[in-house]
Amino acid sequence: MNKGIWYGIGAYVTWGLFPIYWKWLHHVPALQLIGHRILWSFLMLFVAILTSRQWNIFRAAVLAPRVLRIYLAAAVLVGINWLVYVWAVNAGFIVETSLGYYINPLLSVLMGVLFLRERMRSLQWVPLGLAAVGVLYLTFAYGSLPWIALTLAFSFGLYGLVKKTAPLGSLYGLTLETGLLFLPALLYLLYADATGQGAFLHTGAISDVLLVGAGLMTTIPLLMFASAARRIPLSLVGILQYIAPTLQFLLGVLVYREPFTHAQFIGFGIVWIALILFGVEGFLASRAQRAQTVTAAVD
Helical H segments across the chain, by residue range = 3-16, 18-24, 30-51, 55-62, 65-90, 94-116, 125-142, 147-164, 170-194, 205-231, 234-240, 243-250, 262-298
Question: Sign of dihedral through CA atoms 25, 30, 35, 40?
Answer: positive
- With 0-12 / 13-18 / 19 or more C-beta atoms within 10 angstroms meaning exposed / middle / buried, residue 291 is exposed
- The span from the CA of 246 to the CA of 209, in Å, is 28
How many Cβ atoms are within 10 Å of 165's Cβ, its own excluded?
Answer: 12
Q: Which residues contact 258 (CB under 8 A, 6 or more apart)?
A: 92, 93, 94, 95, 252
pLDDT tens per residue across span 65-77: 999 999 999 999 9
Q: Which residues contact 29 (CB under 8 A, 6 or more apart)?
A: 192, 197, 199
- Reported as a pLDDT band with limits 50, 70 and 90, residue 113 is confident
- The span from the CA of 95 to the CA of 93, in Å, is 5
Whole-structure pTM value:
0.88
Question: In this structure, are residues 243 and 13 in contact, taking their beta carbons and an 8 Å threshold?
Answer: yes
pLDDT tens per residue across span 165-214: 888 888 899 999 999 999 999 999 999 999 999 999 998 999 999 999 99
The per-residue pLDDT for 1 is 57
The closest of 229, 228, 232, 235 to 289, measured between CA atoms, is: 235
Q: What is the amino acid identity at position 220? A: I
Q: What is the amino acid identity at position 158? A: L
pLDDT tens per residue across span 132-177: 898 888 888 878 889 999 999 999 889 888 888 888 888 899 999 9
Q: How far apart are the first and last CA of the chain?
A: 32
**Main-chain dihedrals φ then ψ at residue 256, nearest 5 degrees:** -95, 5
